[in-house]
Amino acid sequence: MGDDMRQGAARQALTAGAVVTGLTLGATGNYGDADRSPSAIVPPSRAFGIWGPIYAGSLAYAAYQAMPRRRADHVLGRLALPAALGYLGAGLWSRAQGTRAFLPLVGVTWASAMAAYALTGRDTPEERKWAEATEGPFGGGTGSWAPTEGSGSTGSTGEAERSGTPDAAGDGSRGDRGRRDGWRWAVREPLAGFAGWLTLASAISVLDGTVDGPAAADPQRRWAVPALAVTGAVATAVTAVGPRSISYPATLVWGLAGTAVQQRRHTATAVTAGALAAVVAGVAALRNRRRGTR
């Protein structure tokens, strides 16, 4: 095994370990009862059932990137570190509450998860060239190709083409579409859903971490709408210009709709959360309609 393959195997093992460790820490953490929380923007406890699909997708990602044939995958290599930091940070989230490290941890965790999600997009000239050659100038909607195990096609000169070029990967065949769908459901969608839920969770945690104490109810209520507005603006922008996915906007819509229901007695908060959920859903639907999805 060459040095590159050994490094790839080490990266795979560390990434899988970080994902599993983060999920285990998160599953065993004490986050309290959302229904009794004084937070002005938290959704009801039942909304946190979204972690079930997020956990399942995250384990699928850990297994997919750990396949021996993925060791030379340069896209998975780029997003390994931010994904690992995101999952480990999320696992440590509840254990850092009440400490000085809490808010920095929230920031690093959210930024890492968003970076990993962003890196699942087509962000290299080779990938864009392949996309345009096989799917037209607008790419392929939610589905995406990513470099696989480095197998290339052999040209007339007998020299294997480099993986990542249209000649090597873009024949439009059923197997080719299968590789794109595998990338979508095993990498992009799990990381998108994880980043989406952390977008709302980070806003909740920042508000809770900065407005706290026995008399926190009124300040929480005053800051609820601005906190939701920032969250909604970020979610809308990412949905509009980030990598196309179903999971990122879906988790945000789910969480914001839950906040609207939970805070229904507080009109301004509930209306803001509901309106933002509708905006995110509308932007996602419009983008998929224009660009196509599969």
Q: Could you please report the per-residue DSSP string of 25-85?
A: HHHT-----GGG---SSPPPGGGGGGHHHHHHHHHHHHHHHTSGGGTT-HHHHHHHHHHHH
Separation of alpha carbons 203 and 209, rounded Å: 10
Buried b / exposed e over 143-177, threshold 16 CB at 10 Å, is bbbbbbebeeeeeeeeeebebbbbbbbbeeeeeeb
Separation of alpha carbons 193 and 56, rounded Å: 11
Tokens of 254: 């789910």
Tokens of 271: 């209306």
Q: What is the pLDDT of residues 177-226, one digit of tens each?
A: 556 778 889 999 999 999 999 999 999 999 888 876 444 567 788 899 99
DSSP letter, residue 161: P
Q: What is the pLDDT of residues 220-248, one digit of tens each?
A: 888 999 999 999 999 999 999 999 899 99
pTM of the full structure: 0.80
DSSP string, 93-130: TGGGTTSTTHHHHHHHHHHHHHHHHHTTS--SHHHHHH
DSSP letter, residue 164: T
Going by pLDDT thresholds of 50, 70 and 90, the confidence category of residue 151 is very low
More confident residue, 69 or 132: 69
What's residue 220's pLDDT? 81
Residue 148 pLDDT more than 60? Answer: no
Tokens of 251: 């988790």
The half-sphere exposure of 258 on its side-chain side, counting CA atoms within 13 A, is: 21
Q: What is the pLDDT of residues 12-26, one digit of tens each?
A: 999 999 999 999 999
DSSP letter, residue 170: -
Contacts of 218-222 spanning 24+ positions with Cβ under 8 A: 220/38, 220/39, 220/40, 221/40, 221/266, 221/269
Separation of alpha carbons 17 and 74, rounded Å: 19
Q: How far is CA 121 from CA 166, 188, 267, in A?
A: 17, 8, 38
Tokens of 242: 């980030």
Coil, helix or strand for 154?
strand
Separation of alpha carbons 51 and 30, rounded Å: 15
Q: Tell me if 69 sits within 8 A of 276, measured CB to CB.
A: no
